[in-house]
A and B are shown apart, each in its own frame.
Chain A
Amino acid sequence: MSDIERDVMTYDVIVVGAGPAGLATAMRLKQNAPDKEVCVLEKASEVGAQNLAGAVIETGPLDTLVPNWREDPPDICVDVTGDEFWMLKKDGATRMPTPPQQNNHGNVVVSLANMMAWLAPKAEELGVEIYPGFSAAEALFDDNGAVKGVRTPDMGIARDGTLKGTYEPGIEIHAPITIFAEGCRGHCTKQLVKRFELDTDCDPQTYAIGLKELWKVPPERSQPGLVQHTIGWPLENDIYGGSFIYHLTEDRIALGFVVGLDYADPRFEPFEAFQQWKHHPKIRALIEDGEIISAGARALVEGGWQSLPKLEMPGALIVGDAGGTLNVPKIKGIHTAMASGILAADHLCEAGAVDGFDAALRASEVGSELKKVRNIRPGFLRGKWAGLANAAWETVTAGHSPWTLHNHADWRATEKLAAVENQPTPAQANDWQTSRDLAPRDRLASVYFAQTEHDENQPVHLQILEPDICVSRCTQEYGNPCTRFCPANVYEMVDNDAGEKELHINAANCVHCKTCDIKDPYQIINWVTPEGGSGPNYTNL
């Protein structure tokens, strides 16, 4: 489709993604140089609508960007009043000492979706132009191979590829500098890392899937500001994961469950683990007779220091979780994402070019914070207890171990069915309950609470590069794990008219979590941007 004539707009800087990293970059750019024209593209229909996090945040970068923000805080913003860390068994819970990284004194609990919607007008006041509903479909390159901007997706193409009456070609936006702030497993970032070989000197990136629900609970159950985390059941020892329970005002509680995507058993279902956890007596007592308000899922980066790719390339920078600045032991990435954006803007202001940003970030507080905790997450590769012991060592020595533990690609960790079929399934091994009664009943019911929307008549945005593998090799070797790791029931194996199994992709259900792109054992699922504005519409997640 290279012969399409496209409109071209020009800016001084393009920022891809209006999440914490992108907005921080754009705001700081305007603060440093008010006459620079800064354009922010956001694939969600509104700023915040596809941001999902816990989220307890450190407010440092926000204090830098908006010094008086506490005078007009976001709707959801609760000072942390206490931290609790629990080890769960199927029928009981033991309070454990809170790991020092998880001491949240001075932090606030927010909803990231709500906070981004609140921050966007502040960015606009500074003169940042934000365009929700327009994603970056691909990066564009000049004759020397440098990034020269991005292209927005074509709209009005039918599922079969023909042009509809409403067809509207995407436009090109050019700028001397493009900042990719797409968040975890960014679609353009993924291409750029490959094209510029940005990951040759680092370990593979690793990921987790986070599932979250917001509940309205009966009066007096929520203790605003209480931050609780659990490990253990329904994942005993073999799978890295845990939960968060953040108590909000107005009888609301945010619940979430995070599972490392380096789990081995292809029969494992992250969504089901989350639902099982909600039925633990301790959790159930909080939410029973309450009402689920919203739900969603998003992959997050876990690779940290040793998986951080090079963050600069000709004409472009990568900031936030598109690169992977999340601090796993702290379970926080918003402050580092924002700080990396501020650093990028300051670097561009001082150096006038992208060169040197990667080194500047590594030498910054963000870099040292990640380096200090680099060995904690990989220590859990040998199970929960070894991981906790290693975490204690790394904490006591403040990350001064002379070694750096390595990360391995999550999809490679998946075992074949043949290797696990004689072992109990994760459900059996962890003694999961056979019946559940708390909402949502299943993944389809959950998608309803994500308010996700895609025009059904558009090309499927989950491209299967080699469809034959799905029905032949994958069915035999792994039992089609996509039908289990996807939290939105996008992938289904169905019988076709000839009585054969066929992969059916319910692309309209997709909540843009990117788990399939990450965990698929053959790496043949390619997540591309659907029509702008498609996808989940999260409220207060």
Chain B
Amino acid sequence: MKILVSVKRAIDYNVRIQVAPDGSGVVKNGVKHSMNPFDEIAVEQAIRWKEDGTATEVVAVAIGDDAVAEQLRTAVAFGCDRAIHVKTDDEVQPLTAARVFKALAERESPDMFLMGKQAIDDDANQTGQMTAAKLNWPQATFASKIELADGKAEVTREIDTGLETLSVDLPAVVTVDLRLNEPRYLKLPNIMKAKKKPIEALAFDELDVAAATPIKTVTTKAPPKRAGGIMVETVDELVAKLKEKSLI
């Protein structure tokens, strides 16, 4: 079984996000980036399957500027066999990513495309679904457990009302949720070896995909500052205040 797994370079979860003064977005320069944590869970799952013999080849794919190579190297250090870097300096929106992933899936013919359920930067939660639609493949999103048998994947999904189990034919797109696994710590020797592995670079036109940013961001603003609260002494005073503000 061959698995493609997507990797996105996102601002690290620890970073205090700042809005760029010109309103063009958030400050990304000089800010720590790392692999989207949900993608890390996807990579971990693929590697576990490779280690137990279920998967024969795991290929990490990413879209973005030169810096993205860092996250692909991390994926290789996890144990991915190869890495493909589709290069662009432009913003990558979910629809564009889905088009690229469709082209890569057709080129690589995997049995499963594993992805994080969403990236922690834009939180769009669209790329997996769009990729499945573009490929006309089954999809199973928010996976917290995946079992493979007889050319099918039985996927336990975390949904609002609890857990739901789907059985999907392979090839399929599966997006993973937080509780699927806990990613490993990388071994230093593996990171050292990953530095020396080549990463295949592709351009959009080699995949016949148009680089497009259909959604235009007009402006980005920080939420308005909240006024400080006040302390009240008694319940009566609280009720009076609430009435004053027509809240009760």
In the complex, identify which listed stretch (B87-95, B135-143, B182-190) lies at the interface while the others stay far away. B182-190
In the bound complex, residues from chain B placing their C-beta under 8 Å from that of A134 are 188
Query: Are B30 and A453 in contact, with the CB atoms below 8 A?
Result: no
The answer for the CA separation of A539 and B33 in the assembled complex, in Å, is: 12
With CB as the reference atom, state the residue of chain B lying closest to A48.
B30
Quick check: B192 and A9 within 8 Å, CB to CB? yes
Which residues of chain A (286-305) have a CB below 8 Å from chain B?
293-294
Main SS class of interface, B: loop
A168-B15 in contact (CB<8A): no
B31 is an interface residue with CB less than 8 A from chain A: yes
Number of B interface residues, CB 8 Å?
A: 21
The answer to whether A540 has its CB under 8 Å from any CB of chain B is: yes
Is the beta-carbon distance between A165 and B14 smaller than 8 angstroms? no
Q: Chain A residues near B182: list those with CB within 8 A.
A: 165-166
Q: How far, in angstroms, from A46 to B195 measured CA to CA in the complex?
A: 16
**Set of chain B residues within 8 Å of A451, measured between Cβ atoms:** 14-16
User: Once the chains bind, are B187 and A168 in contact (CB under 8 Å)?
Assistant: yes
- Residue in A9, A129, A155, A453 whose beta carbon sits within 8 Å of that of B14 in the complex: A453
CA distance A355 to B183 in the complex (A): 45
The closest CB in chain A to the CB of B12 belongs to: A537
Taking a contact as CB atoms closer than 8 A, the residue among B18, B34, B183, B192 that contacts A129 in the complex is B192
Interface string of A157-177 (1 = CB under 8 A from B): 000000001101001010000
Q: Considering only CB atoms, which chain A residue lies closest to B31 in the complex? A: A539
* A7 in contact with B189 (CB, 8 Å): yes
Cβ 8 A contact of B184, one of A117, A166, A531, A540: A166
Chain B 191-208 against A: per-residue CB contact (8 Å), 1 yes, 0 no? 110010000000000000
**Residue pair B187, A7 in contact (C-beta under 8 Å):** yes
Task: List A residues 163-193 near B (Cβ within 8 Å).
Answer: 165-166, 168, 171, 173
Known: A75-B29, A293-B18, A539-B15. A171 touches B191 (CB 8 A): no
* Per-position binary interface string of chain B over residues 5-34, scored 1 when its CB falls under 8 Å from any chain A CB and 0 otherwise: 000000010111010010000000111101
Q: A293-B18, A451-B16 are in contact. Are A9 and B188 (CB under 8 A)?
A: yes
Q: Are B192 and A131 in contact (CB under 8 A)?
A: yes
Q: Report B-chain residues with C-beta under 8 Å of the C-beta of A453.
A: 14
A49 beta carbon closer than 8 Å to chain B: yes
Q: Which residue of B lies closest to A118 (CB)?
A: B30
List the B residue with the shortest CB-CB distance to A171: B188
Which residues of chain B in 162-190 are interfacial with respect to chain A, using CB atoms and an 8 Å cutoff? Answer: 182-185, 187-189
With A7-B189, A165-B182, A451-B16 as contacts: A540 and B30 at CB distance below 8 Å:
yes
**Contact between chains at B30 and A537 (CB < 8 Å):** no
Q: Which residue of A lies closest to B44 (CB)?
A: A166
A75 to B31, CA, bound (A): 12
In the complex, which residue of chain B has the Cβ closest to the Cβ of A156? Answer: B185
Residues of B near A45 (CB, < 8 A) are 12, 32, 34
Q: Which residues of B contact A166 (CB under 8 A)?
A: 182-185
Across the interface, which residues of A come within 8 angstroms of B189, CB to CB?
7, 9, 171
Q: Is the CB of B18 within 8 A of A117?
A: no
A152 at the interface (CB under 8 A from B): yes
Q: Quick one: which of B30, B192, B195 contacts A539, CB cutoff 8 A?
A: B30
Query: Within 8 Å CB of A152, what residues of B?
Result: 188
Which of B29, B31, B183, B191 is the one whose CB lies under 8 Å from A131? Answer: B191
Q: How far is the CA of A279 from the CA of B187 in the complex (A)?
A: 48
Chain B, Cβ-Cβ closest to A113? B30
B16 near A449 (CB under 8 angstroms)? Answer: yes
CA distance A204 to B218 in the complex (A): 60
Q: For the complex, is A393 an interface residue (Cβ under 8 Å from B)? A: no
- A268 contacts the other chain (CB 8 A): no
Known: A449-B16, A451-B15, A451-B16. A537 touches B195 (CB 8 A): no
Structural contact, B184 and A168, CB atoms closer than 8 A: yes
Instruction: Determine the distance from Cα of A129 to Cα of B18 in the docked complex, in whole angstroms.
Output: 32
Q: In the complex, A117→B32 CA distance in Å?
A: 10
Interface 0/1 of A406-427, CB less than 8 Å to B: 0000000000000000000000
Cβ contact within 8 Å between A155 and B185: yes
Residue on B nearest A173 in the bound complex, by CB: B188
Kindly state the separation between the CA atoms of A45 and B31 in the bound complex, as whole angstroms: 12
10 contacts between A and B (CB under 8 A): A45-B32, A117-B30, A134-B188, A165-B182, A166-B184, A168-B184, A293-B18, A451-B15, A451-B16, A539-B31
Using CB atoms and an 8 Å cutoff, list the residues of chain B in contact with chain A: 12, 14-16, 18, 21, 29-32, 34, 182-185, 187-189, 191-192, 195
The 7 closest A-B pairs by CB, nearest first: A155-B185, A168-B185, A453-B14, A451-B14, A171-B188, A537-B14, A46-B32
Which residues of A line the B interface, CB within 8 A?
Answer: 7, 9, 45-46, 49, 75, 114, 117, 129, 131, 134, 152, 155-156, 165-166, 168, 171, 173, 250, 293-294, 448-449, 451, 453, 531, 537, 539-540
Given contact pairs A129-B192, A171-B188, A540-B30, enumerate 17 new A-B contacts (beta carbons under 8 Å).
A7-B188, A9-B189, A45-B34, A49-B32, A117-B30, A131-B191, A134-B188, A166-B182, A250-B21, A294-B16, A451-B14, A453-B14, A531-B185, A537-B32, A539-B15, A539-B30, A539-B32
